[in-house]
Structure 1
Amino acid sequence: MIGVSGATARYRTAITELPLRARVVEQLEGAIVVVDGAPGWPARSRVALQGRASALLIAHPVAVDDDELAALEAAAGSVPVVLDRPWLRADLVADAAAPRAGVDAARPVTVDTVAIPGELGAMVRESLGWLRMLAGGELELRAAAAVPHGLLALLEEPVSGRAATLTASTLVGRGGARLRAQAVGETRLEIDLDAATDARSVDVSTAEGTLRRPRRRESSARVALRRAIDAISRGDGTGDLRAFRHDAALAASVFSAG
């Protein structure tokens, strides 16, 4: 059993749901330290590392300067860093990753997203994370353009040459944020995340029909906490920081170009 320090209400609930694996502690040393992902989180993370944390769990991280992220990545070394990104949940990514081999590399992967006012930047970043996963590697921006209430972007995975397209807009009127991703080929993947209805679906379609992956009932906090515990048990990192750096830098480029 491992201690968890700095847990807010969401993570305390997750701890109670994992009674044989985690417990609340006060000290940083040897613990998974939950770090608020509000501005300044890399500095707070370095304080936890100085306190000899066994792992870091960053809750809903916002975009920060890339130099700060690079410094944190260097400071963390082999200490696992898990990012809790509710719009890019690791369990849903795993559900979508398994059948990706059947996706036609000649066809673009696409994401359409709608953000609530003030959250377009964050939704673009998370959408780019989905495109990165579906395209099979880090992306490069080819073109971007502003449209009323949003933007369009064309990207490419340079190794395979697979195209990726993003359409993002800000919600006008009532409703909630939504993200829909698709990859088409012999196997078609469709991911639908809807804040208004709390829908989270991954559909896999083949010639035999459509299979909807079982709905994931865990909270994103519990998923992230389990990942941190598992990373400590394995003794390796997660790659979350590198992925976040890629997505955040690419989102900044999209907005600059558009």
Structure 2
Amino acid sequence: MSAMAVGTDLAAYRSAVAELAPLVRLADAEEAGVLRVVDGRGAWWDRLERLTDAIGVVVDEPQPAPAAAHERLRALGVPVVVARRRLRADVVATVAAVPAAHVVVDAWGAPSEAAVVLRDAVGWARVLAGGPLEVVAHAATPTADVLALACGRVGVSVTRALGGAGVGDALTAVALGPRRVEVRTDSAAATIHVEIDDLEGRRIAAPRREAAERVALRRLRDAVATGVRPSDLDELAHDDGILGVE
């Protein structure tokens, strides 16, 4: 298969394209039928809908989107990969099959990242609980949000506390059941730490050191090549929906 062309102005993705050669290459200025990268800041969904020349799209670190936007995006005819550094697809694949009886997620972040941190905390709750979540109760104060959720018989709690301006973010997710699974991530770390405890002892998953941009481009290239539509947008819509984004 010839190299797929990637159109992007984001420096990290241009570097990832160079590292992934000859699987992908940078697109020419006027080239159509390429893979595109959308910056997830602001109304990214509007920019995504306007990409009529793309055969596949990466959305990088998207801000929470309203339900109406997600509904429109369901009609997109191209595969879309969502790059969420706190919820990397390659790490999710190592823990998604672990059964749980209860899930607890605690997150901390600056006010500017509050909504994204809470949304990604919900994402880890969904992954560790093993399926879609329902809101049982929600309490909010000026400095914290607490969500009581459920996935069938699995109880889930998500707490997000606000730090001061300039602080980084951190997230700890724990699944309790036949196995104890702990996931830790923070803005200063290049990897996500995963520990699994069961009757066989404690295992620490090997860290995934590949850049998130490379992972996203490889996944998109594979999706286009195989014709398989990733579930990323559906999962993002679920997690945004738990937050009740308007």
Shift of 1:186: 1.9
CA distance in 2, matches of 1:206, 1:28: 52
SS of the equivalent of 1:205 reads: strand
State the match for 1:126 in structure 2. 120
CA contact 1:187–1:205 (8 Å) conserved in 2: yes
CA distance in 2, matches of 1:28, 1:122: 33
**2:140 equivalent to 1:137:** no
State the match for 2:15 in structure 1. 13
SS of the equivalent of 1:167 reads: strand
Partner deviation per Cα, 1:198-244 (whole Å, 9 max, x = no partner): 45201111122111111111111111111101101110110111111
State the match for 2:64 in structure 1. 63
CA distance in 1, matches of 2:161, 2:225: 41
Which piece of structure 1 moves more, 23-32 or 56-65? 23-32
Shift of 1:147: 4.2
TM-score (norm 2): 0.92
Q: Report how many aligned residue pairs link the two structures.
A: 243
The one-letter amino acid of 2:21's match is P
CA distance in 1, matches of 2:140, 2:45: 31
**2:33 equivalent to 1:39:** no
Q: Can you give the 5+ residue segments of structure 1 that lack an aligned partner in the other structure?
A: none
State the match for 2:150 in structure 1. 156
CA distance in 2, matches of 1:89, 1:41: 20
CA contact 2:8–2:37 (8 Å) conserved in 1: yes
Residues 199, 35 of structure 1: alpha-carbon distance in 2 compared, 3 angstrom cutoff: closer
**2:111 equivalent to 1:111:** no
**2:95 equivalent to 1:96:** yes
218, 221, 224: which is aligned to 2:216? 224
TM-score (norm 1): 0.88
After the TM superposition, which segments of 4 or more aligned residues of structure 1 sit over 6 Å from their partners?
Answer: none
